Amino acid sequence: MAVGSMLCVQVGLGASVGLFDDIGPAGAACLRLSWAGVIALAIVRPRRGTYSPDARRGGLALGVVTAGMTMLFMAAVDCLPLGTAVALEFLGPLGIAVLRGRGVAAGWPLLAACGVLLLTQPWQGVVSATGVAYALGAGSCWAAYIILTQRVGDAVSGVKGLAISMPVAAVVSCCVAGPSLASDLTPGLAAVGLGLAVLLPVIPFALEMLALQRVHAGAFGTLMALEPAFAVGVGLVALGQVPGPLAALGSACVVSAGIAAARAGARSPERRALRTPALRCPPFLRARLRS
């Protein structure tokens, strides 16, 4: 599920860059999140009383973080090469892997970090300070996103949490970029935004919420090290960008770290059960048990 999510993310990012000239990075993020909010409500169809107060609060926080992560990263991609932006953003999940990893050896996050550096080779080019700040901000939001997605996914079954987080993210993005987007939006761009919203973020966020119900946050953060490798693969297939020897070595490093995290990071049934609300015993059954 995590691998499928990353593939959708990279393809979606490549397609979203084409919208920058028409509606800008903030507008592209706002358009995608707005459609994602509509789609999430249409698919999940949340009912009143389904969500506990903790689930509602977690979903609200997740929506704010999702909007921040998406908009900051779009701004970073507008200033930096995609690989560099992804590598810097990955520092957020990597921090989660180091601080909260259980069953994941400390060497795997370090190996993933070395792989990210080999993939992007930031020492070869001039890096925009503004772009770096955007990417690091997106990375901080990504770290919070991992923790909150797991919390919301444990509080409600399946992908019901998206019915809260996606509409909230849409509202936040509209508050930031809605006025400028409204003046540039055309029916054609709106249709393109709908397709991109399905590719990113609806499918990836749903897959990530399901994945985080099965692995702990530390392992998931390390598994996200595969993201830069997917960026290189998409560039090779779609854009004809052949990676050099160092980039190929970096891909091997992050793939190895990701596989190790996936094997070591399964959440135990006991730990998952702790987050599952206990079922109440009906009164008539309690009476029979007493007798």
Q: Are 98 and 106 in contact (CB under 8 A)?
A: yes
Tokens of 214: 């099965």
Query: DSSP of 223-271, one letter per residue?
Result: HTTHHHHHHHHHHHHHH-----HHHHHHHHHHHHHHHHHHHH-BPPHHH
State the pTM of this model.
0.79
Distances (CA, A) of 233 to 6, 123, 220, 223: 11, 21, 21, 16
Distances (CA, A) of 111 to 108, 210, 234, 266: 5, 26, 22, 20
Among the residue ranges 162-166, 236-240, 269-273, the one predicted with the least confidence is 269-273
Q: Are 214 and 266 in contact (CB under 8 A)?
A: yes
Q: At what angle are helices 53-79 and 82-89 packed, to 10 degrees?
A: 140
Tokens of 246: 């160092």
Query: DSSP of 203-214, one letter per residue?
Result: HHHHHHHHHTTT
Q: Please check the confidence at residue 166 and state whether its pLDDT lies above 90.
A: yes
Q: How confident is the model at residue 91 (pLDDT cuts 50, 70, 90)?
A: confident
Q: Alpha-carbon distance 121 to 250, whole Å?
A: 10
Q: Please check the confidence at residue 291 and state whether its pLDDT lies above 50.
A: no
More confident residue, 1 or 171: 171
Give mean pLDDT, residues 148-172. Answer: 89
- Of 154, 138, 164, the closest CA to residue 217 belongs to 154
Q: What is the DSSP code (8-state) at residue 52? A: -
Question: pLDDT tens across 179-222, in order?
Answer: 989 888 999 999 999 988 888 788 888 887 787 777 766 666 66
Task: Give the pLDDT of residue 27.
Answer: 94
Domain boundaries, given as residue ranges, for the chain: 2-290
Task: Give the pLDDT of residue 238.
Answer: 64
DSSP SS3 for 215: strand
Distances (CA, A) of 212 to 127, 174, 178: 33, 28, 31
Q: What is the DSSP code (8-state) at residue 81? A: -
Give mean pLDDT, residues 138-156. Answer: 89
If you average pLDDT over every residue of the chain, what do you get? 79
Task: Give the pLDDT of residue 127.
Answer: 73
Task: Give the pLDDT of residue 271.
Answer: 47
More confident residue, 224 or 177: 177
Distance, C-alpha 219 to centroid of its chain = 14
Q: Please check the confidence at residue 43 and state whether its pLDDT lies above 70.
A: yes
DSSP SS3 for 217: helix
Q: Alpha-carbon distance 113 to 254, whole Å?
A: 8
Q: Alpha-carbon distance 249 to 232, whole Å?
A: 12
Task: Give the pLDDT of residue 64.
Answer: 97
